[in-house]
């Protein structure tokens, strides 16, 4: 069983920056591929970014490429998402997810095994 707890979401102005975190427990974090997803009201959950178990490979949705950076600290069992140049359309609940198949490294939400409860990010115009 993997427990994931997101934190750091808040209200920011457009153009601002924010870093959200996801603390993991219950499994060897360095053996997990990890991802960030988001869900805005009335919309489906969408992929944001993913990172391999080692942190050596990352993948981003086109909508956030060049603005967001996913990273991980395996010594601290923590996943991060640095968000820069935020836009109102980035407003959503952000979820971290863990994939027990460390070799998977997928953008598909249904391939992830565990999810956090989410953290709200609101970008005002």
H-only helix segments in 2-111 = none
| Residues facing 7 on adjacent strands | 21
Q: Which helix (H) or strand (E) holds 68?
A: strand 68-73
Tens-digit pLDDT profile for residues 82-116: 999 999 999 999 999 999 987 777 899 999 999 99
pLDDT value of position 34: 96
Q: What is the pLDDT of residues 19-40, one digit of tens each?
A: 999 999 988 898 999 999 999 9
Question: Which of 58, 42, 31 has the alpha carbon at shortest distance from 114?
Answer: 31
Q: How far is CA 35 from CA 12, 14, 15, in A?
A: 22, 24, 24
Lookup result for tokens 């998402």: 81
CA distance 5 to 108: 20
């Amino acid at each position: 069983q993997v427990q994931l707890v997101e934190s750091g979401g808040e209200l920011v102005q457009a153009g601002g920056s924010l870093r959200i975190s996801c603390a993991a427990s219950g499994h060897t974090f360095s053996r997990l591929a990890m991802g960030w997803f988001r869900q805005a009201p009335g919309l489906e959950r969408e992929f944001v970014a993913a990172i391999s178990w080692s942190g050596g490979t990352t993948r981003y949705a086109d909508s956030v490429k060049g603005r967001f950076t996913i990273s991980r600290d395996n010594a601290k069992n923590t996943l991060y998402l640095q968000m820069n140049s935020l836009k109102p359309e980035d407003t959503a609940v952000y979820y971290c997810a863990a994939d027990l198949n460390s070799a998977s490294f997928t953008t598909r939400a249904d391939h992830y095994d565990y999810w956090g409860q989410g953290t709200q990010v609101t970008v005002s115009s």
